[in-house]
Structure 1
């Protein structure tokens, strides 16, 4: 993303930060949200990168805390008639596409993603038209309109396996939007992958030099890296994987501590599952540099207790209902269903 665009995003988000609540206020909001979820036959689905308070509330009320693939599965299969999706907008759109008969709300529709912003549907469609011989695979972090242009949708948890599958069938790939993840799957599979030039503002800032310096201070620590990170960071990792895969790795490895190169919202689940281990955020800036995300997605941080309750208590969801054009939804459902079927098949292996 261009520097000017990053600065505009940062300036906007600075004025939309969630308020700090004291313990009494948080307890009050939790109680009211739980009551409203029950009254409206609703369930709260939250991503690992949201505030720990939101993740804990989702768990306590029978909801889900997961990566984007599991969020999609959970929302589709849950009997609730209303889904409250705490994450970023593409997750809400995916939930609506997979569950068109349900009401889908988000605490705020303004919570988006740098990968989504950096891949406009019209420009992307033109790019695809220039390479008609390629199979179009788009990351889940894209708009419904971009998904509608794709042959496959994929998440980081199944990206390598899917591209390897397509490569063995002799297909050439057009990949969007994260260039780091696209380059990673190309290196892992040897496939012919043409990448769109996009990046996540969180993962793009991790620095190999800073991680190595931190590792020198903590030689016992394993380095866990999300593949949306730059290649220099991926190269020094002990484990590379999606959010759910990094959590599993931390459980399976004997290391007492970990340097984690992904959004620090994941620490809630890691510390919950492994209270005896230490988790350190990977550095996002070198000497004299200033980070813009500081390992915390500013859009994920826009999901708070106050706006979650407001959506539930207002009959119209405060205007935060997800709507997807029916024709776009119909087209996007095809690659999304392929993703879910492929992911389910991998789990059975």
Structure 2
């Protein structure tokens, strides 16, 4: 194995404090050492053996490396968005879960499945939205607005979820906020400002927004996307709602990762411009091999990108890291029981809502998936 990992790279992200002021902070990421073909085959074979021997299941997000996604599918695990990752882990019989994604996903799995041991290939794989919403600052900010229902996006720490009334993902956020609005509730939303703004526009809800952003989706450029659309006039434009308003306004489909995949599989277009983490293209190509997929621009001739449409922390997940989880029980997730119990309430509330109100989810998703209806 090549032992030379890439050097750490720093990334800027927005951080809000207790008073509501936003400033720029930095975090680092680095990719794991690459494996040559024969070593990769050996590591994959060993992982498959140990998943069985250790009664473990591998759950992977659409944004991680394609080899890991394939391994999850081949071993009876799961590849999905964060909502279905949490649901799968909760319902699976395995005693151990390997979660290939970012830190909040592993924490969510542990919150809903405390009886299981949950491991991650790299515990330093985090998220700019999680980092940008410090639990102590959030508690102080929340205390200033006691009249508001607290709704937090899945991309937050267990300590932030422990302060929330609801957790949501991009696949169910619109439906849940719509129902809260119909009940006359005012909402404190955290942490993604772009998704919050989009939901606010769609529902008309009274929402106070935390000022966070995903460093990947925040880099998509409307002016460059317009040029790409002009070059591909027949393409369907798919945009994740964590993107800036100018990008969202150009979309044919605005939705979660699952909704975007559904749009490619079921859509009638030949070409699709995809504005989300390019890790999703691996699964899209498998499910719709005859469709042409085009990455949305994060930079043009006069600009540079830092993430270049791939989350640097998702990229920290590697096959060797998965093997280390199984061989050495490294990367285990631990959460204080008091925090876990408090966080469980907002997650269970979401899971119960999505289970008991599929009609509302479908109606809300119609607004996300403009051309194909429910997703």
Range into which the TM-score falls when normalised by the shorter chain:
over 0.9
Between the aligned partners of 1:70 and 1:98, the Cα distance in structure 2 is: 12
Structural RMSD (CA): 1.3
- Quick check: 1:335 aligned with 2:346? yes
Tell me how far 1:5 sits from its aligned partner: 5.4
- Give 2:7's aligned residue: none
- Aligned mate of 1:321, from 325, 329, 332: 332
> What secondary structure sits across from 1:34 in the alignment?
helix
Counting matched residue pairs gives: 341
TM-score (ref. length: structure 2): 0.89
Between the aligned partners of 1:221 and 1:26, the Cα distance in structure 2 is: 36
Instruction: Write out per-residue CA displacement over residues 234-279 of structure 1, whole angstroms, 9 at most, x where no aligned residue.
Output: 0000000000011111122111011100000100110000000011
- Give 1:278's aligned residue: 292
- Give 1:345's aligned residue: 356
- Give 2:311's aligned residue: 297
Aligned 8 A contact 2:14 2:213 in 1: no
Between the aligned partners of 1:282 and 1:331, the Cα distance in structure 2 is: 39
- Aligned mate of 1:206, from 220, 233, 236: 220
- Quick check: 1:38 aligned with 2:52? yes
- Give 2:63's aligned residue: 49
Tell me how far 1:346 sits from its aligned partner: 3.3
TM-score (ref. length: structure 1): 0.95
Structure 2 matches for 1:86-235, cutoff 5 A? 86-235=100-249
- Gapped runs of 5+ residues in structure 1? none
> What secondary structure sits across from 1:132 in the alignment?
coil
Between the aligned partners of 1:241 and 1:225, the Cα distance in structure 2 is: 7
- Quick check: 1:20 aligned with 2:34? yes
Tell me how far 1:2 sits from its aligned partner: 4.4
Tell me how far 1:212 sits from its aligned partner: 1.1
Question: Which has more helix, going by share of residues?
Answer: 1
- Give 2:260's aligned residue: 246
> What secondary structure sits across from 1:338 in the alignment?
helix
Between the aligned partners of 1:154 and 1:107, the Cα distance in structure 2 is: 25
Tell me how far 1:219 sits from its aligned partner: 1.1
Aligned 8 A contact 2:167 2:350 in 1: yes
Q: Indicate how the Cα distance of structure 1 residues 301 and 5 shifts in structure 2: closer, same or farther if over 3 A, else same.
A: farther
Between the aligned partners of 2:358 and 2:78, the Cα distance in structure 1 is: 19
Between the aligned partners of 1:136 and 1:181, the Cα distance in structure 2 is: 15
Tell me how far 1:345 sits from its aligned partner: 2.2
